[in-house]
Amino acid sequence: MAAFSMTNVVSAHSKLALSFFLCLLLLRSSSAQLTPDFYCDSCPNLLDIVRYQVQCALEQEKRMGASLVRLFFHDCFVNGCDGSVLLDDTATMAGEKNALPNKNSLRGFEVIDAIKAAVEEACPCVVSCADIVAIAARDSVVELGGSSWDVKLGRRDARTASKAAANADLPAPSSSLDQLVSKFQQHGLSVQDLVALSGAHTIGLARCVNFRAHIYNDSNIDSSVGSSLQQVCPRTAGSGDNNLAPLDIQTPTYFDNAYYTNLLATAGVLHSDQVLFNGGMTDSQVQAYSDDTDLFFTDFAAGMINMGDIKPLTGTDGEIRGNCRVSLTMANSMLMVALSIAALLLARGCSSQLTPDFYQESCPDLLPTIRYQVQLAVNRQPRMGASLLRLFFHDCFVNGCDGSILLDDTAAFVGEKKAAPNLNSARGFEVIDAIKAAVEEVCAGVVSCADILAVTAKDSVVELGGPNWDVRLGRRDARTASQAAANISIPPPTSSLNQLISTFQSHGLSVQDMVALSGAHTIGFARCTNFRNRIYNETNINGFFAETRQPFCPSTAGSGDNNLAPLDSQTPRLFDNSYFDNLIAKRGLLHSDQQLFNGGTTDSQVRAYSEDPDSFENDFVTAMAKMGDIQPLTGSNGEIRKDCRRFVACLTLLALLLGTSSAQLTPDFYCDSCPGLLDAVRNQIKLAVARENRMGASILRLFFHDCFVNGCDGSLLLDDTPTFIGEKRAAPNLNSARGFEVIDAVKAAVEEVCPGVVSCADILAISARDSVVELGGPSWNVKLGRRDALTASQAAANTSIPPPTSNLDQLVSRFQAQGLSAQDMVALSGGHTIGQARCTSFRSRIYNETTIDGFFAATRQAGCPRTAGSGDNNLAPLDIQTPTCFDNYYYKNLVARRGLLHSDQQLLSGGFSDSQVRLYSEDSGAFSRDFVAAMIKMGDIKPLTGNNGEVRKNCRRAH
């Protein structure tokens, strides 16, 4: 079992943070005399709360009962029963968790966290962690069939812990009888207590490193028992050190007297066990407990009560922790308390505590607004539900749930979208954009992107048939993002069980949380590159399952890397517990999935979830709520973004105040200054498209090629000058880009109605929209307010515009470099439902490629000779069915392998975009909606605003 050492972890429940301050103020006085009814008035439901949490923990893993009993032993033996064993290390203190008797061994901390959180809900700042451990130990014994007793209460919590004391005070498994007697007597415990309390080894497991010497070197061990244990514990040190064996070989999960029966048969697992029956003074007591279970139970209960009396902190000593892992320390002065409370009062209208009703007054329609948008997105593409849920995971695991994953890269930072766990994988950003836009319509500037992401994740689960829960709200948005943090914080699909546990624990999530949250893989897909090694090289996989995955995921790296397979092979679009059924059948798709059921500590929890979907759903909801509490920005920290992709910097705000126009593009930018603008543009585009239908595609392409080179700034329109070579002569545009004379005519018409007001960049944006509309496509409100570039760059055009030879990964990379997602890329590629391409752009495809319909290739070959230089400028329609109508036939062509360009057919070539192409081929409404959203996003690429750039009079020349 991996060690449960968790440093610098905050409480699972955000309420506990405020408890730090309340507990300082509410320093209750109590008698130094411990008593079972100490909390009778102050926390009357305490015992029921603890019992329920212990029952839940043991239902998931019987072994946890022994772990909780052991926590109490190891706490009391080091400076008394004061909860010190629960404290994480700090910069100034090396605690007990990493002491030799505890490291890689002591466990159950996450259960104590869960109990503490539940107790704090009922009676905050009242019950100590030390008392919680004492009660949990008793309840663990009872749950496993042992005796009960009244636990004396009233302890308070230590403010420090000592690794050195733990190393010195806890008896080692190699201890002799005299050493054991001495250690127990040092703590005021008798020899009888020693023998009775050792009976706790009737439950639980021990590591090979602790019994190796006994089974290979000691003579007082039954040979058959020794041989059996040697099978799991090799002789060589360092080999199998952490392999486990039950301390009671007869009934390891039942609290009875079989431990003593084992000792009589020289079947004690530890040296320190067998010395209790080895011809010494304790032999008769071992014999008595072996013969009389009731006597053992009576003496064990008395021994536990005696141990619970070791040096308790009472009265005003110690503290009542809000978080069992972190000490309040009385060094915090009352001034600090006052300042903290003042900060809470001065923060925004609510407490920094997250709460489901945070927006009840400021945005009452928030939840139905988000729900509607999620329903639309999931109805269009069920896979999107998993993608949105994954976005929330990947956001929270990197510096907390702060919306940082949504930020595009800037000149100041490389964000999380390009981190290895997210690149070519994280998706759904455009759905969050749509939700944000809808929310801004009903309550502008109120709701954070971080909160939108949290609610969206919940609604995605619900839409796919999963449980519902109240999402706690009140987060604010980060102003930065970190690619480096994403690379190290998100667990890769190659993770071992210990690595998974460690990563989740570093975020304050327990092993139970980890297994429950992994159940989200009951929906969604994974890329071949993430499961290739498992289906070809691993042995803990169902053979038939591996074989069915292999045709879609070739063994050669680089071949089919982006091909997709469902994470849940049974019900990939339904949120249920089939994921756990798959693990039991060795059908986990990822290595990290199958690790949850591979002979380790989480096997029992996987089985429980496989058998009881309600248990899974309950634990999943709890874990999602806990994950949502990871380091939220609240109060005056962070900001509320208007655009989830961009943070609002103070310098930007200053520019807004000083500039002559807003840096925020808006459809009504020219409402007062040029009210006839839209009519003037529309009339000219109508004339141009009526003269030549192809011109609509040419104008749309001009807008694409302008925005992809240093942003939507009209730089493409500039003629060369003595000081620069512009974009018109760049390879993607030379002998190809056209329609400049139409833009000239539009500009002239606009100058007639409002001279010197409207930029060429904005004219191009409106003209692109009107061209789509004229050819039967959708309309949208074009955001305006751009200004024109003063220069252009041939070099930038050559490197920024994707060529027609691009593969899928190259396309994704080029679009992502502009802040556009893979979905945006597929939707915008639908612009090829109109227009024509030159022979030189598709010659190689129609003669050399195999992913092409034979008849289609033959018809194209007639107009495009094989020889380079012959017929290079001959044209063919990009959409062979309806080349002058803006519709979804481009995608139908791809499904039929009739994409004209190599870069077109790459969208349906066994990769991750296949499903989106098929969706658009079947649902023209989905294509139109996503195309519009992507065009708006593309129009937002690096616009010049305020005093930047200029407003040209002639679109071909800068002033």
The separation between CA 667 and the C-alpha centre of its own chain, rounded to angstroms, equals 35
The separation between CA 218 and the C-alpha centre of its own chain, rounded to angstroms, equals 50
| CA gap 223, 266 in Å, rounded | 9
Contact 561, 906 (CB under 8 A): no
Amino acid 268 reads G
| CA gap 591, 293 in Å, rounded | 46
Instruction: Tally Cβ neighbours within 10 Å of residue 295.
Output: 15
**Among 830, 860, 858, CA closest to 926:** 830
Contact 315, 31 (CB under 8 A): yes
| CA gap 531, 23 in Å, rounded | 49
| CA gap 421, 64 in Å, rounded | 33
| CA gap 952, 959 in Å, rounded | 7
| CA gap 39, 428 in Å, rounded | 50
> Is-catalytic flag, 394?
yes
How many Å is the Cα radius of gyration of the chain? 34
Angle, vertex CA 918, rays to CA 912 and CA 919, nearest 5: 100
CA dihedral 894, 900, 904, 909 (to 10 degrees): 50
**Among 283, 295, 226, CA closest to 256:** 295
| CA gap 763, 487 in Å, rounded | 42
From the list 394, 521, 705, 902, the catalytic residue is: 394
| CA gap 19, 913 in Å, rounded | 49
Assigned token pair, 416: 């999380």
| CA gap 196, 257 in Å, rounded | 10
| DSSP designation for 205 | E
Beta-carbon contacts of 594 under 8 Å, excluding residues fewer than 6 positions away, are 534, 538, 540, 541, 583, 586, 588
* CA distances to 258, 463, 718, 752, 789 from 760, in Å: 88, 44, 10, 14, 9
Angle, vertex CA 406, rays to CA 400 and CA 411, nearest 5: 105
Contact 293, 8 (CB under 8 A): no
* CA distances to 4, 551, 698, 708, 826 from 793, in Å: 57, 45, 20, 12, 27
| CA gap 519, 466 in Å, rounded | 11
Buried b (16+ CB within 10 A) or exposed e, 224-252: ebbeebeeebeeeeeebeebbbbbbbebb
Assigned token pair, 380: 């269009």
3-class DSSP state of 334 = helix
Amino acid 569 reads S
Contact 323, 20 (CB under 8 A): yes
| CA gap 912, 428 in Å, rounded | 13
Within 13 Å and on the Cβ side, how many CA atoms surround 943?
A: 26
| DSSP designation for 80 | S
Name beta bridge partners: 721: 724
Instruction: Please say whether the dihedral angle defined by the alpha carbons of residues 411, 412, 418 and 422, taken in this order, is positive or negative.
Output: negative
Name beta bridge partners: 205: 246
| DSSP designation for 785 | -
| CA gap 391, 490 in Å, rounded | 12
Active site residue ranges: 394
